[in-house]
Structure 1
Amino acid sequence: MEEQILKVQTVGEYAARLHVSPDRLSEAVREATGHPAGELIRQRQLLEARRLLAHTTRSVSEIAYALNFQDPAYFSRFFRRLTGQSPGEFREDFLAKHPL
């Protein structure tokens, strides 16, 4: 999953790469981790987004496209829904707490 995070976003895409059905992959992931596969994918995307926001000067749009989001506005909504902050707010808070 780690090397694919910038290329694929859905359980179906991961399942196709692994030559299993989405249902089988979801079942296996839930059995192994106790969490739905989609949740793990979203959390890994969020982790990478936070890393890029905190440690690069890339714009929010550049980060959205790097993470394979087709629409930066959708990426911003995705980020806010999971963190309660916009990507810009997250970056500002991070830099205030960890000045260069």
Structure 2
Amino acid sequence: MLTKTKSYSRGFRLVDSGYYAPDFQRLRVLQSLIELDFRYNRDINVYAVKMGTSIHALNRFAKAYLGRSVYELLQDRIYREALYLLQHSRHTIKEISELLSFSDLPYFSRWFKQRNGQTAKVYRKGFKT
């Protein structure tokens, strides 16, 4: 006769164990470094040094797992912050460009328009209805 074994309603998951694959850990480290330094540090060489690898190897790694270079990841994070500040802060566009470490307002405006298709001023007006 077969005996029933006790079944557990909650199965084992890797998330529960606290274990993360080494590549996933590296991605988390890269993400956290970008998150901490994106406003002040635009040199991807610094990220490579902090992670103990070369720029080439770090870019190859990022492209393999995320489909983007470290520079593109950094630019994406800066862009997301610019969008957030334009939507939710009372800072002027010039102050936002300074907060994001742009050398001058015209450069920030060109950079933003290249990514968004509209100027920061027009983008912000779309949220003030």
Q: TM-score range by the shorter chain?
A: 0.7 to 0.9
Task: Give the whole-Å Cα distance in 1 for the aligned partners of 2:55 and 2:107.
Answer: 24
Which residue of structure 2 aligns with residue 84 of structure 1? 117
Q: Please give the per-residue CA displacement for 1:44-73, whole angstroms capped at 9, x wherever unaligned.
A: 111000100111111111111111111121
Return the structure number with greater helix share: 1
Instruction: Tell me how far 1:16 sits from its aligned partner.
Output: 3.3
Are residues 1:24 and 2:57 paired? Answer: yes
SS in 2 for 1:6: coil
- Pick the structure with greater CA Rg: 2
TM-score (norm 2): 0.68
What is the correspondence of 1:29-68 to structure 2 with a 5 Å cutoff? 29-68=62-101
Task: Give the whole-Å Cα distance in 1 for the aligned partners of 2:108 and 2:101.
Answer: 9
Question: Which ranges of 4 or more aligned residues in structure 1 deviate by more than 3 Å?
Answer: none
Q: Percent identity?
A: 29
- Counterpart residue type for residue 95 of structure 2: E
Unmatched runs of 5 consecutive residues or more in structure 1: none
Aligned length: 96
Unmatched runs of 5 consecutive residues or more in structure 2: 1-33
Are residues 1:94 and 2:127 paired? Answer: yes
